[in-house]
Amino acid sequence: MNKLRIGQGACLLCCASLMFTLKADMTMTAAKSMPMHAATSQQSSQAGEESYICPMHPHIHQDEHGTCPICGMDLVQTQRTAEQASKIAQAPVKEELLSSSSIVTVKPESLTIMGLKTAKVEKKVFPTQIETYGTVAYNEDTATNFVARTEGWVDKLHTLHEGIRVKKGDTLLDFYSPDLLMAQDGFVVSLKNNFSFGGERQAFFDKVGREKLRLYGLTHEDIEQLAQTGELKQSIPLKANQDGIITEMDVDQGDFVDKGGRFMVIADMRSVWVYANIPEQQIAQLDQTNQVEITSQAFPDLKWQGKIDYVGAALDPSTNMLKVRLLVETPDEKLKPNMRVTAHLHTEAESARLVVPNEAIIPAARNEYRIVKAVTANSFQTVSVKIGRVSQHYTEILSGLEEGEQIVAAGQFLLDAESNLQASLKRL
């Protein structure tokens, strides 16, 4: 049957929508006129005792086989008398029955088969760590955008692809530019013409010519060589101004580049940025974070230290998470851009809080949650709770439970569905 293929995910979806669907059905039932109630009662009487009902949404019932319009499960055949059918159609639904749940009793021999596991609601010093996933990016504060200071052509590339490590002073490419060629010629002519003047005038024109060449990207050594030899270079070697790794390559050999166009990016990978997302419930802990530790599956034995560098101004509406940027020191340069890592944000110790295991929480709707409470050894009831902070293993309970109570931490979804089913059937 289809219902055997729905799986736990569908059960969770059905449970989450149960309260809202029942209330909507209650409103529609109450709005019906009396003649329509009588007609429904008459039809139910003619239909006999056979009826079909959705196991997850008991208010969905009809006289012939079909599927639930909410979850798609096959309707299950059941028995009801004409008197019960009349009550379903005519009697108003009590809202308090929909806002509470019934106690479900399970035979002791069935507890093991169902795989039920219980846990105690207790106070613990809330775990002083936020654990989340992050993505590595190069540190833009220590990276250099290597750009063209005048238009021209890439005559020759000495670094052909990304990932190459370069040192300060290494030649990255040879660049041909008519403007640069004219600047060299002007500098050489100026030196010859001003040589006869001497003194301050010669020094002034010499300084102006050198500064112009420097702004075009020539190094001090290149300018000195030009001053001594007077030989113009058709293509000027452009050199790295820092140690690092080429993380982005934007040109190929022979490309024309406009003034301000980027050749490549050189990043110092001895420090990197890690972008991580923090759940809404854990945002308050960021102010108390005093240590950041990064781990990676690529290097399971290594750890890197860091700190919070930037906190986003708004939550992502699609995930309800806040983006933070972590500055991480990587002297070994093993973390690479776009690598997935785990961020451990350690916070200061706090006072004890009422907590339950994360797996005991049943999401019901947006910002609404339920837990199955153990009333006795084999009796259970679903209760609504308000949650606070969430850690790797525990969820803080703000209301709905008391310390010492037993709750179900595994197998609770079936109990939750049955408890709500029984609560709904109380209106019959």
- How many structural domains comprise the chain? 4
Q: Is residue 103 part of a domain?
A: no
Classify strands 235-239 and 289-296 as parallel, antiparallel or unpaired. Answer: unpaired
Please indicate, yes or no, whether residues 193 and 221 belong to a single structural domain of this protein.
yes
Please indicate, yes or no, whether residues 163 and 252 belong to a single structural domain of this protein.
yes
- pTM for the whole structure: 0.54
Nearest to 322 by CA among 358, 283, 291, 290: 283
Q: Is residue 374 part of a domain?
A: yes
Q: Is residue 402 part of a domain?
A: yes
- Boundary (domain end) residue, out of 261, 281, 299: 261
Please indicate, yes or no, whether residues 302 and 342 belong to a single structural domain of this protein.
yes
Please indicate, yes or no, whether residues 300 and 365 belong to a single structural domain of this protein.
no
Please indicate, yes or no, whether residues 246 and 301 belong to a single structural domain of this protein.
no
Q: What is the dihedral of CA 374, 375, 378, 382, to 10 degrees?
A: -60
User: pLDDT by residue for the chain (428 residues), tens digit each?
Assistant: 333 333 334 343 344 333 333 333 333 333 333 333 333 334 434 444 567 777 666 657 677 888 877 667 777 776 555 554 454 444 343 333 334 456 777 777 666 677 778 888 988 887 667 889 999 999 999 998 999 999 999 999 997 788 889 999 899 999 999 988 888 888 888 777 765 555 666 777 778 888 888 888 888 888 888 888 888 888 888 889 899 999 899 999 999 999 999 999 999 999 999 999 998 878 877 877 778 999 999 999 999 999 999 999 999 988 889 999 999 999 999 999 999 999 998 877 667 888 888 888 888 766 788 888 888 877 888 888 888 877 778 888 898 888 889 888 886 666 556 555 555 555 55
Give the domain extent around 381.
111-125+352-425
Please indicate, yes or no, whether residues 394 and 254 belong to a single structural domain of this protein.
no
Residue 378 main-chain phi, psi, to 5 deg: -135, 20
Tokens read off for 321: 């998470």
Q: For residue 316, what is the domain's CATH number?
A: 2.40.30.170
Q: Is residue 395 part of a domain?
A: yes
Q: Is residue 307 within a helix (H) or strand (E), and if so which, with residue range? A: strand 299-316
Quote the CA–CA distance of 5 and 173 in Å, as a whole number: 62
Please indicate, yes or no, whether residues 135 and 277 belong to a single structural domain of this protein.
yes
Please indicate, yes or no, whether residues 29 and 80 belong to a single structural domain of this protein.
yes
C-alpha radius of gyration, the chain, whole number: 36
Q: For residue 408, what is the domain's CATH number?
A: 2.40.420.20
